[in-house]
Structure 1
Amino acid sequence: MRVVVASDKFKGTLTSAEVADAVGAGVRRVHPDTTVVSVPVADGGDGTLSAAVAAGYTHVPVVASGPTGEPVSSGYARLGDTAVVELADVSGLVRLPGGIPAPLTATSYGTGELIAAALDAGCTRIILGIGGSASTDGGQGLIDALGGRLSGNNSALRDENLPESGLYVDTAALRRRLHGVEVVVACDVDNPLTGRRGAATVYGPQKGATPEQIVELDERLGRWADVVAEATGVDLRDTPGAGAAGGVGFAALALLDAELRPGIDLVLEMVRFREQLAGADLVITGEGALDEQTLNGKAVAGVAAAARTSSTTLPAAAPSATVPAAASSTPIPVVAVCGVNRLGPDQLRAIGVSAAYALTDLEPDVRRCIAEPEPLLEQLGERIAVRHLTMTRRERGIA
C-alpha cells in the first residue's frame, strides 16, 4: 500500500512535514507495511520555501530588509537555474517586529533584494510566492531593490510630500536586469490595484490600516499606477491580480513582465506532485481550517483536483471461466485532515475530497488542539487507515 500525504501547514502550529509525520505514524500503526510518502505543499504563501526545499531545492541564505527595514535572515531556494522566493519570509506579516502592523510604511524592498540575489547568482527563472504580505506599497519597494525605481529618497509611496515630478521608473534598467529572465508569480486573488476591490480597501484592514489610512493608501497606489503607466505606455491597474500582496502583483505584471498563476498549481509542479502519485492508493491532504476559502484554489482543493485527474490501477474481481482478469483504473481517493472543518459533505465532494477528519472531532477544546496537535493527528491517521485502507487491502486480497 502507498499513501501520499500532501498537506499544507497548520498555521501557527505545525509545518507541512510535521503534519505528514504525525498522520503517517497513525497510518503505519494500523498497517505497518504501508509506504507513506510526505510531499509538503503550500499555496504560494508562507510554507512555499519549505515545500521547495523538501522537494530537493537548496536553501540559499540571504540577509535582506524586513518589512520595516530591519535586517532579517531569509533566503531563496534554488534548483538549477530556478529560484523560489517567498515574499512572506522576508516582507510578510510574520516579519513585523513584535507583530506590530506598519500599514503606511511597510515595504516589499526585501523581496526585491532576494530576487536580485538570485539573479546575481545566475538564476534565470524566478518563482515568486506573494501571499502573506505586510505592505501596501504597490511593489514599489521591490522595484527599488531591482534598480528600476528612482527618486530622491526611494520612498515615493511612503512620503506624501515628495513632488510628483520626483517619481521616475527606470524601465531600461529593469530590462537590462531581467533580460532573459522568466518571472512567474503565485497569485490566488483577482483584485485590481485600486478602488473598492483594490489592495488597500480589501486587504488594508488585515495589515492594520484604519479607514482613513485605507483612503490614503489607495490614493498613493493610484499615483504609483499613473507613474508606471506613463513609463510603460500601458495601464495595468485594473488587471485581475494586480492588487495581490499590496500591489506586488501590479509591479510584477507591469514592470517585470511576469506571468500570474494559481499558487497551488505552481507548487504542485515544483514538487513534482503528479510523479509522486504513481501507484498511490490514497492521498491525504490538509490545512488548518477547511472553510469557504478552501473552495477557492487553496492547497486542499488543488491537491484534490490533481489527484482526481490521475488514477491508480486496481485488479478486477476474480475471473470467471469465460471472462479473464483485467485491470481497472479509478481516480485516487482523497481525504483531508484539518484543525476544524466548516464544510459540508457536498462541498467537500465538489472539490474531490471524499471525507474530512478534524482535530476538533477528537478534542472539542481548540486550545488543546493548537497546543498538542501531533497525538490527535496520529489518531486521525489511524481512523483514516481503518476506514480507507483496510477495505482496499481486502479488495486486493492482502491480509
Structure 2
Amino acid sequence: MKIVIAPDSFKESLTALEVAQSIHAGFEKVFPHAEFVKIPMADGGEGTVQSLVDATMGKVLNHRVIGPMGEKVTGFIGVSGDGLTAYIEMAAASGIHLVERDRRDALKATTFGTGELIKFALDRGVEKIIVGLGGSATNDAGVGMLQALGVSFKDSNRNEVGFGAEALSEIVYVDISDLDLRLKNVELSVACDVDNPLVGPNGASYVFGPQKGATNETVQVLDDKLRYFADLTKEQLGIDISDKVGSGAAGGLGGAFLGYLDTELRSGFGIVADSVRLEEQIQNADLVITGEGRIDGQSIHGKTPVGVAKVAKKHNLPVLGIAGSLDLSCVEVYDHGIDAVFSVVNGAVDLPTALAEAAVNIELTSLNIAKLWKLNINSYCGL
C-alpha cells in the first residue's frame, strides 16, 4: 500500500514537512508496512520556500536586505539540494509582517529588498529562480525591486528617485540598460494567485492598500501614482502594464515582473507541484492525504488541498483532508476532489494551545483516520 502525504504548512504552528511527519506517525501505527511518501507542499505564499527546501533536501540562506520601510532586515532565500534552483518569498524582504501596524505606510514602503534577494540568488549561480508573491507591505509597482536589479528611474534633475509609491510621480526618465544581465540566463517563475490589474477600482491600491495602512484619501493618491507610472512605462518602453491580469499583485510587483522582466505569472500551487514532481509521485498511490491550517470555502481558490486533490483525481485516487480547523463552508471542497475532511482540534481550547498541540493532535487524528480506513479496506475485502 502506497500512501502519499502532501500537506501545506499549518501557519504559525508547523511547517509542511512537520505536518507530513505527524500524519505519517499516526498512519504508520495502523499500516506499519505501507510505503509512505511525504511531499511538503505550498501555494506560493508564506511557507513556500521552506516547503520547497524540505522537498528537495535543500537549505535556507539568510541575507541582510533593505526592508519595506527602508531599515535593514534579515531576509532569506532557499536553494534546492542540487544547487540549481533558488526559492524566494517576496514577503521575506518586503512583507507586511515586518512592519508594526502603526508604522505601515503604503506610500513609503519599498520592494528594494526583494530585488536584493534576487541578486543574492543570482550570485549563487542558480539556473532557475522561483519567486512567490503575497503578503506585501508595498505599493510601489515593483520599482524598488527593479532599482536593486539595475533599472534607473530618474527625476527631472536626472537624480535617482527615492523609495516607495510616493516617488513614482517624480519619475521622468526610465533607463533599463543596466538591468542585471544574468537575468537573461536564468528561468524566472513567479507564483501568483491574484488576478487584479494594476490600477482602477479592482487594482492594487483600492483592493489591497487599506491593509497596508492606506486611508480612503491615500488610496486615491496611490492609484493616481500607479497610473502615472503605467502611462510613463507605456510611453517610454512601449509596455502596457495597467490592466494586465495579475499586474496588481503585491502592490504592483506583478506588473514589474510582467512588463520589465517579461515574466509570466503562474499559479503558486502549479509551480510548487511541478517543482516537487507531485503528479509523478501520486499517480501510483493507493491513498492521498493533504491538508492545511484551515479548510473552508476559500480552499477551492488555488489553495494546496484542492490543488493536490485535483491532481489525485486525474488518477481516480481517494483524497482525505486534515485541517487545524473547519467551518461549514468546508463542504465546498467535496465538489473539488476531496472525499472527506477532518479537524485535529479535539476540544474547546484557545488558539495558542491549539497551535502548540498541533503535532500531537495531527498524529492522534491521523491514527483515528487510519483505523477507519483499515475498517473500510477490511469491509471492502469481505474480511
Q: Find the counterpart in structure 2 of residue 369 from structure 1.
A: 354
1:4-33 residue CA offsets vs partner (Å, 9 max, x unmatched): 221111112222122112222221233333
**Structure 2 CA distance for partners of 1:159 and 1:241, relative to 1, 3 Å:** closer
- The one-letter amino acid paired with 1:202 is V
Confirm whether residue 384 of structure 1 aligns to residue 369 of structure 2.
yes
Rounded to whole Å, the distance in 2 between the matches of 1:118 and 1:2 is: 36
- The one-letter amino acid paired with 1:92 is G
CA shift at 1:99, angstroms?
8.3
CA shift at 1:76, angstroms?
2.1
Confirm whether residue 16 of structure 1 aligns to residue 16 of structure 2.
yes
CA shift at 1:304, angstroms?
0.8
Which segments of 5 or more consecutive residues in structure 1 lack a partner in the other structure? 311-330
Q: Find the counterpart in structure 2 of residue 221 from structure 1.
A: 226
Partner SS state of residue 6, structure 2:
strand
Is 1:345–1:355's contact at 8 Å kept on the other side of the alignment? no
Rounded to whole Å, the distance in 2 between the matches of 1:393 and 1:277 is: 23
CA shift at 1:285, angstroms?
1.0
Confirm whether residue 211 of structure 1 aligns to residue 236 of structure 2.
no
CA shift at 1:218, angstroms?
1.3
1:358-379 residue CA offsets vs partner (Å, 9 max, x unmatched): 134x223352323422222122
Rounded to whole Å, the distance in 2 between the matches of 1:373 and 1:255 is: 43
Q: Find the counterpart in structure 2 of residue 327 from structure 1.
A: none
Q: Find the counterpart in structure 1 of residue 79 from structure 2.
A: 78
Rounded to whole Å, the distance in 2 between the matches of 1:236 and 1:50 is: 31
For residues 37-186 of structure 1, the aligned pairs below 5 Å read 37-56=37-56, 57-79=58-80, 80-96=83-99, 100-151=103-154, 152-155=159-162, 157-159=164-166, 164=170, 166-174=171-179, 176-186=181-191
Which protein is bigger by CA-based radius of gyration? 1
TM-score by length of 1: 0.86
Q: Which moved more, 1:127-136 or 1:203-212?
A: 203-212
- The one-letter amino acid paired with 1:112 is G
Superposed CA RMSD in Å reads 2.4
Moved over 6 A (4+): none
Confirm whether residue 5 of structure 1 aligns to residue 10 of structure 2.
no
**Structure 2 CA distance for partners of 1:216 and 1:279, relative to 1, 3 Å:** same
Which segments of 5 or more consecutive residues in structure 2 lack a partner in the other structure? none
Q: Which moved more, 1:205-214 or 1:332-341?
A: 205-214
Is 2:106–2:164's contact at 8 Å kept on the other side of the alignment? no
Rounded to whole Å, the distance in 2 between the matches of 1:248 and 1:396 is: 55
Kindly, what percent of the aligned residue pairs are identical? 41
Q: Which moved more, 1:338-347 or 1:46-55?
A: 338-347
Confirm whether residue 280 of structure 1 aligns to residue 311 of structure 2.
no
Partner SS state of residue 204, structure 1:
helix
- The one-letter amino acid paired with 2:152 is R
Rounded to whole Å, the distance in 1 between the matches of 2:368 and 2:314 is: 26
- The one-letter amino acid paired with 2:162 is S
Q: Find the counterpart in structure 2 of residue 323 from structure 1.
A: none
TM-score by length of 2: 0.90
CA shift at 1:395, angstroms?
5.0
Choose from 241, 259, 263 the match for 1:236: 241
Choose from 245, 254, 259 the match for 1:254: 259
**Number of matched pairs:** 375
Is 2:290–2:322's contact at 8 Å kept on the other side of the alignment? yes
CA shift at 1:199, angstroms?
0.8
